[in-house]
Amino acid sequence: EPEVTQTPSHQVTQMGQEVILRCVPISNHLYFYWYRQILGQKVEFLVSFYNNEISEKSEIFDDQFSVERPDGSNFTLKIRSTKLEDSAMYFCASKSYSPIGELFFGEGSRLTVL
């Protein structure tokens, strides 16, 4: 069964360092998303990406964040200068042209900022 894959599964970084989280969405999907989940809290929307551009972003997604689809398969989230409060699970998700309900999530990348 096709799935969304994410790397790394866990990354530990020093405050102020740049981090890139990678995602390979399901191959025929058109909409791509990043969500994050701080430990013990709810899943929060960060950004959606469609047709090679950001379609919507939350207030969390400030200038320190960026997304890119550098080729036909990868979808990345970059945090330029990490802060302690960026520590969270980051989930990539994708969907095809069907309604938003059919959103498939990856297993997440745990980011720990020290």
Partner 1 sequence: GQQLNQSPQSMFIQEGEDVSMNCTSSSIFNTWLWYKQDPGEGPVLLIALYKAGELTSNGRLTAQFGITRKDSFLNISASIPSDVGIYFCAGSLNDYKLSFGAGTTVTVRA
Beta strands 10-13 and 109-113, pairing class: parallel
Nearer to partner 1 (CB atom), residue 32 or residue 86? 32
CA distance 62 to 114: 20
CB of 43 to partner 1, least distance (A): 4
Phi, psi of 99 (to 5 degrees): -55, 160
CA distance 41 to 35: 12
Nearer to partner 1 (CB atom), residue 42 or residue 70? 42
CB of 78 to partner 1, least distance (A): 20
Nearby residues of 22 by Cβ (< 8 Å), 6 or more positions away:
6, 7, 8, 74, 75, 76
Nearer to partner 1 (CB atom), residue 30 or residue 64? 30
CB of 24 to partner 1, least distance (A): 14
In the numeric block, which tokens belong to residue 67? 């997304």
Nearer to partner 1 (CB atom), residue 27 or residue 41? 41
CB of 5 to partner 1, least distance (A): 11
Residues that bind partner 1 (CB under 8 A): 4, 31, 33, 35, 41-45, 48, 50, 55-56, 58, 91, 93, 95, 99-108
